[in-house]
Chain A
């Protein structure tokens, strides 16, 4: 079975540009999470969805960040405009409610560099 798929795997952009990160969760999973990982702050939960509905976006750093989940198999995280401090690895994870531990399964991540 395919795991969580993220694209692109690497992104280099200039300050001020719009960045869109994409995620395809594991088929059948009803939860989707977006995380950001930096050396300084570790892993931070940005937002999560249940059945395509955003449940908690309190981790989204500011209005420049937005996330959508138009259907059960696709989600985007958008940064507009991007800033150098947004440079990080962004992970998408999915999970199935009622499963053992309700474990989250992570995608390979998108490494973002904003110049």
Chain B
């Protein structure tokens, strides 16, 4: 079974609008971490935001926020006020348990295109 599911292979959004990229995860661990990375066409992987399973508040980093719904096992990324430079692949990832490095898995990604 897939640990990380990103059901939107591609998304379009108008510049300056907000967009939500979906991510659902599967784990039986109580302690885990959720991450979002951005991969522009240049290829590098850029860390965006982190949410811990015990964090009570949704994480925010500038225009990025993570809509964490623990009971639904979802960790959607919300980008507010989209910019042309936000066009990229976006990967959701999860680290299970407390062992750093182990069980760190990535989803298949969502390609976001921001339209002028």
Q: Please tell me if the beta carbons of A55 and B44 are within 8 angstroms of each other in the complex.
A: no
Our pick among B37, B47, B102, B108 for the contact of A42 (Cβ within 8 Å) is B108
Our pick among A42, A55, A101, A103 for the contact of B106 (Cβ within 8 Å) is A42
Shortest B111–chain A CB gap in Å is 12
Q: Please tell me if the beta carbons of B95 and A102 are within 8 angstroms of each other in the complex.
A: yes
Cβ of B109: which chain A residues have Cβ within 8 Å of it?
42
Interface size class of B (residues with CB under 8 A): 20 to 34
Write out, one digit per residue, whether chain B residues 41-75 have a CB within 8 A of any chain A CB (1) or not (0). Answer: 01111110010100000000000000000000000
Q: Please tell me if the beta carbons of B104 and A104 are within 8 angstroms of each other in the complex.
A: yes
Cβ of A42: which chain B residues have Cβ within 8 Å of it?
106-109
Given known pairs A43-B91, A101-B52, A102-B33, the reply for A89 and B43 (CB within 8 Å) is yes
Shortest B87–chain A CB gap in Å is 19
| B116 at the binding interface (Cβ < 8 Å) | no
Q: Please tell me if the beta carbons of A103 and B43 are within 8 angstroms of each other in the complex.
A: no
Shortest A4–chain B CB gap in Å is 10
Cβ of A104: which chain B residues have Cβ within 8 Å of it?
35, 47, 104
Q: Which A residue sits closest to B46, measured CB to CB?
A: A106
Q: Please tell me if the beta carbons of A43 and B43 are within 8 angstroms of each other in the complex.
A: no
Shortest A32–chain B CB gap in Å is 9
| B85 at the binding interface (Cβ < 8 Å) | no
Cβ of A109: which chain B residues have Cβ within 8 Å of it?
43-45
Our pick among A45, A56, A100, A106 for the contact of B45 (Cβ within 8 Å) is A106
Given known pairs A43-B106, A101-B52, the reply for A106 and B101 (CB within 8 Å) is no
Cβ of B44: which chain A residues have Cβ within 8 Å of it?
106-109
The A-contacting residues of B in range 21-43, CB under 8 angstroms, are 33, 35, 37, 42-43
Give residues in A with beta carbon < 8 Å to B: 31, 33, 42-43, 45, 48, 50, 55-56, 89, 91, 93, 95, 97, 100-109, 111
Give residues in B with beta carbon < 8 Å to A: 33, 35, 37, 42-47, 50, 52, 91, 95, 100-102, 104, 106-109
A/B interface sample: 10 pairs, CB < 8 A = A33-B101, A33-B104, A42-B108, A43-B106, A45-B104, A50-B101, A55-B101, A93-B45, A106-B37, A109-B43
